[in-house]
Amino acid sequence: MFNMIFVILEQLLLHLPLMVGAYVSFALLKVPDLSIESAYVVGAIAGSYALVGMSNIPMAVLILIIIGASFIGGALVGLVSSLLTQKGKFPHLLSSIVAFGLFHGINQFISPAYMSLGTTQNPLTLFDAIPQHPELIMLALIGCCIMGMLYFLFKTQIGYAYAVYGNNPQFFKNYGISTSFVFISGVMLANALAGISGYMFAQSNNFVELNMGLGKALLCITALILGKGIVRIKKPFTLALPMVGTAAYFTLQQLLLKVGFNLKYFTAVQALLVLCILLYTYHTQPQRPVNDNLGV
Amino acid sequence: MRINNLSFKFDNKQKNTNYFFKGLSVEFKPHTVHFIQGDNGVGKSTLFTLLQGMNDKNSFLDMSVSLDGVLYTAIHNRLPDTFTQQVHTVQQNYDCMLANQFTFMQNLQLANLPLYPRLRPLPRATLLDIVASLGIDVNKPVALLSGGQRQFLALLMALQKPTKLLLLDEPTATLDKKNAQLIMQLLPQLAEKLQVTILIICHDKELVDTYAQGNSFFMRELENGTRIVEVM
């Protein structure tokens, strides 16, 4: 039982930056940001290259550099997809698909299809006080830092602006506020956070694989929909939603595993779950906002 | 405020396009509410678009505007930013100016955001004395407000940043008579208190007759296709 709780906690912390990023793009900005799948891989590759290239640096400093590299790697994907949307005037779904293809090609050029991290030191084990879960404390520290920063961000002008964009994308042009700045910075932040998660996942599993991002958007949507169903608050936005949603998602996954369910079918289960919830929402709330088509 | 020699064509690239406005000049009393009437398509909304500097890049515009003693001349077919930054608009569809999930007070604060929102708390709202006099619960989400309250909010949001010219496109079109009268009674107070000149497009003759007090204009199209503005 305790081991299951630790596993859920570990999975929650590994995916928390990705989920908070997805919350910013899917739920606040309300854009179908598929580029997070690409940012997840680019972040993993950037972090891994930083790890391999600077392995002689003390681990406490190295982890900061690695997280910075994966943050920038992810943000770069977000920059490309959001620029295509804002300056190229493409729908964001198309922009993120183009960005995905573009970065997949770049990844194939700069990185092997499978890169092992097993031979290098693991900065996530810097505080290995729990022998069976040596990465847990470091992951918790990173998660707390990220959540703390976002808690602060959501109390500022830019945090509110992200939520306003999802509520009414036309809002800003009436008051001399840059819509492009709000959109581009929001998508960059979302993708940058996905990049951090990508590195942490790769480090935890000791490998980077070019297809490791596939299905992450569906994972995020499922967790956010679960979070939306559980967290009932009146505020326009809250960090509790992605956190509770992620915890619920991995609890459900572990419970299914416990009763002998084969996890290779779990993607189909989560797709069906999303489908059922969306069908229910669409038919019970016909008056929902037009731009609320993602259901999160 | 005075509009001088306004000449405008929608498409500057086609040589045979007629002028929509040709040498139009009109003067408005400063810090006063003015009503502009006219048939649909005569150019009232186009005039507002030009004053906001939102006309198409391919159009042709030659005009100058003197506002509070300063003369602003159109450059590259648009009025300069130094003028348009002082012009704010409340559109007929005022809902597109509001963020429904947020409260009345948060909307006022959000309208005051700078060009690039920063890592700082929301700015303070202004005109709180007027908000208090309206008796609206400022902590209520906008989605739960009535049409009249939302119209008041859109109006106050447009005035959050420094404004010298306020353009209202049929502000009472979706309101009942009582709320329309409340808005009309508030506007002269705002014009005087904030030293702002207000232009209103209005098709409701009864409202114009009641509240115009000699500041009513009628825009019409002449047989040769040009537009004139007559004082009524």
pLDDT of residue B225: 77
Chain B residues with CB under 8 Å of A164 CB are 99, 102, 110
Q: pLDDT of B92-143, one tens digit each?
A: 888 899 999 999 999 999 999 999 999 999 999 999 998 888 888 999 999 9
From CA A37, how far away is CA A245, in angstroms rounded? Answer: 19
Provide the 10 A C-beta neighbour count for residue A136: 19
Chain B residues with CB under 8 Å of A228 CB are none
Reported as type and span, the H/E element at residue B3 is: strand B2-9
Of all residues in chain A, the one with the smallest CA distance to B86 is A176
Tell me the nearest-neighbour CA distance from A224 into chain B, angstroms: 19
CB contact under 8 A, B91 and A174: yes
Q: Which residues of B, range 151-210, sit inside 8 Å of A by Cβ?
A: 157-158, 160-161
Out of A141-150, A248-257, A268-277, B87-96, least confident range: A268-277
Interface membership of B119 toward A (CB under 8 Å): yes
SS3 B48: helix
Q: pLDDT of A194-215, one tens digit each?
A: 999 999 999 999 999 999 999 9
Note whether A239 and A22 are within 8 A (CB): no
Q: pLDDT of A156-202, one tens digit each?
A: 999 999 999 999 999 998 898 999 999 999 999 999 999 999 999 99
Provide the phi-psi class of A295: left if phi over 0, else alpha when psi is between -120 and 50, else beta. Answer: left
Give Cα B149 distance to the centre of its chain. 18
CB contact under 8 A, A168 and B91: no
CB contact under 8 A, B102 and A164: yes
- Residue A154 in any domain: the answer is yes
Residues of chain B where predicted confidence (pLDDT) is lower than 50: none
Give Cα B151 distance to the centre of its chain. 13
Query: How far, CA to CA in Å, does A21 sit from each of A194, B122, B204?
Result: 6, 22, 50
- Residue A81 in any domain: the answer is yes
pLDDT of residue A295: 63
Asked whether the predicted pLDDT for residue A130 surpasses 60, the reply is yes
Of all residues in chain B, the one with the smallest CA distance to A171 is B97
State whether ipTM is beyond 0.95.
Answer: no
Note whether A147 and A20 are within 8 A (CB): yes
Of all residues in chain A, the one with the smallest CA distance to B111 is A175
Q: pLDDT of A238-254, one tens digit each?
A: 999 999 999 999 999 99
From CA B72, how far away is CA B80, in angstroms rounded? Answer: 7
- Residue A282 in any domain: the answer is no
The token duo for B38 is 């006219």
Chain A residues with CB under 8 Å of B105 CB are none
Rounded mean pLDDT of A97-110?
Answer: 94
pLDDT of residue B174: 81
- Residue A183 in any domain: the answer is yes
CB contact under 8 A, A236 and B161: no
- Residue A219 in any domain: the answer is no
pLDDT of residue B30: 92
Q: Which of B100, B117, B161 sits opposite A158 (nearest CB)?
A: B117
Of all residues in chain A, the one with the smallest CA distance to B154 is A174
Chain B residues with CB under 8 Å of A156 CB are 117-122
Domain containing residue A23: 2-214
Interface membership of B110 toward A (CB under 8 Å): yes
Of all residues in chain B, the one with the smallest CA distance to A158 is B117
Contacts of A35 (CB under 8 A, 6+ apart): A77, A78, A80, A81, A95, A96, A99, A100, A103, A187, A191
- Residue A275 in any domain: the answer is no
- Residue A87 in any domain: the answer is yes
Asked whether the predicted pLDDT for residue A294 surpasses 70, the reply is no
- Residue A124 in any domain: the answer is yes
From CA A115, how far away is CA A209, in angstroms rounded? Answer: 6
- Indicate the number of domains in chain A: 1
Q: Which of A152, A160, A174 sits opposite B122 (nearest CB)?
A: A160
Note whether B12 and B66 are within 8 A (CB): no
pLDDT of residue A216: 94
Q: pTM (2 decimals)?
A: 0.90
Interface test with B, best of A156, A157, A158, A184 (most B CBs within 10 A): A157
Transcribe B108-133 into DSSP letters.
Answer: HHHTT--SS--SSPPPPP--HHHHHH
Tell me the nearest-neighbour CA distance from A191 into chain B, angstroms: 19
